[in-house]
Structure 1
Amino acid sequence: MIEEMGQQSLFNILISLMVLIAVWWSVQSIRFDLFLKDPEGIKAKGFMVVLTLALTYLVTSFILNYLNWSQTLRFLF
């Protein structure tokens, strides 16, 4: 039981890190100079970090929930 929890935690961390890398890579393609006054400033960089973390949380939550739901579908029948 404890070993399974540890494996699940490690899996969740790895999924989160992979999604974080993918989201950061994707956010780099957004042209912030169209939306921000100073796209090279510290506030813009902070916004990029917060945006990346928020999107990472949403995507990771969706993926992990979907995997959990698909594993519990076997109890339906």
Structure 2
Amino acid sequence: MDNDLTNQVNQTLSANGLISICVSLLCIAVAWWTLQNLKLELIIRQPKGPQGRLLHLLLAIIVGHAVSGFVIDYMSWTQMLRYLF
């Protein structure tokens, strides 16, 4: 009986981890795509150089991580609503 419960918990945690990874990568990709319209030449000297591209990547990771955190939290909150009634 305990083994079945342990397996269910492990499967649930694994599924949640996989969903979190996919949502995070998707949000980072969307942030990267969205930031393509950002005019970095107004901020830095060489936006097409390696430092400009790295800045673009870091901005995409930061924005994507923030958005994915919100989406993952929102999904978690909606899952908790079923225990309300």
Q: TM-score range by the shorter chain?
A: 0.7 to 0.9
Q: Distance in 2 between matches of 1:72 and 1:10?
A: 19
Distance 1:21 1:43 in 2: 19
Which of 63, 82, 85 is the equivalent residue of 1:74? 82
Q: 1:25 aligns with which of 27, 33, 38?
A: 33
Q: How does 1:1-77 map onto structure 2 within 5 Å? A: 1-77=9-85
Larger radius of gyration: 2
TM-score, normalization: structure 2?
A: 0.81
Once the two structures are aligned, what percentage of the paired residues are identical? 26
TM-score, normalised via structure 1 length:
0.88
Which ranges of structure 1 fall in alignment gaps of 5 or more residues? Answer: none
Which structure 2 residue ranges, 5 or more long, are not aligned? 1-8
The letter of the residue matching 2:24 is S
Structure 1 outlier segments of 4+, above 4 Å = none
Aligned length: 77
Aligned-pair Cα RMSD in Å: 1.2
